[in-house]
Every structure is written in structure tokens, then in C-alpha cells.
Amino acid sequence: MDKQRIIQYQSDFDKIAHFIDDGGEQVEVWFARELQILLGYARWENFFIAIQRAMDSCKTQGVNVDDHFRDLTKMVGLGSGARREIVDIMLTRYKLERRVATGEKAIVKTVRKLPKKTQA
């Protein structure tokens, strides 16, 4: 992949990023329905399968899924002017880096977790 294309993808992801406050710290998140379009998924059902696989991968690695995937509902307008509720998922960044230190492999987690759910 050429450098210009990578820069364009980075710009596209930055445009749809959202920031939520977690006690004074800003956490970068994306909404799955916006990512779906950017990643070229025509149907929500197909993208949802990919998200479920990512969740399964987190579970396999012992990562708390709730820290990185948050179900939510949104109201959207219909062509008729009516509104309806749709399911979406708020996602955060999760990255594992491997380091070799003193001859041993260590896994260092760089994690930006979603804030804890609060009672309304």
C-alpha cells in the first residue's frame, strides 16, 4: 500500500473519531455504523459478524470486552420524517505490543478503555 493511501485512510478514520470524557481524560472512540461505511461493509449484519469475532478475540486474550465494545442505541430519521431506534456499538482502540526484554517476551498493553457505565 502506498504512503498516500495510508495517509488518506488515517484522515478518514480521524474524521469519524469521537471523544468522550472519562473523568477529565478524553477517550477516543468510533461508532461501528460509521466504521462500517468506511471499511466497505454494505450490510450491518456482515459487519456485526466481524465485530463479534473481534470480541471473541479479546475474550481469548483475557481482555475485558466491556472496556472496548459498548452497545448503544440511536434514534435515526427515516425518509418519511419518522424516527426509529437502531443498535450501534461504541468501539475504542486496543493494541498489544510485544517487547523482548532480558531475553523474555513480555506483552505490554496500550489500552484506552471506555469509561465505566454510570447509572442514570
pLDDT digits (tens, 9 = 90+) for 34-58: 999 989 999 999 999 999 999 999 8
Contact indicator for 32, 89 with CB cutoff of 8 Å: yes
Cα 61 vs. chain centroid, distance in angstroms? 17
The ranges assigned to domains in the chain are: 3-111
**Identity of the highest mean pLDDT range in 11-15, 97-101, 116-120:** 11-15
> Based on the number of CB atoms within 10 Å of its own CB, is 100 exposed (0-12), middle (13-18) or buried (19 or more)?
exposed
Name the pTM for this structure: 0.71
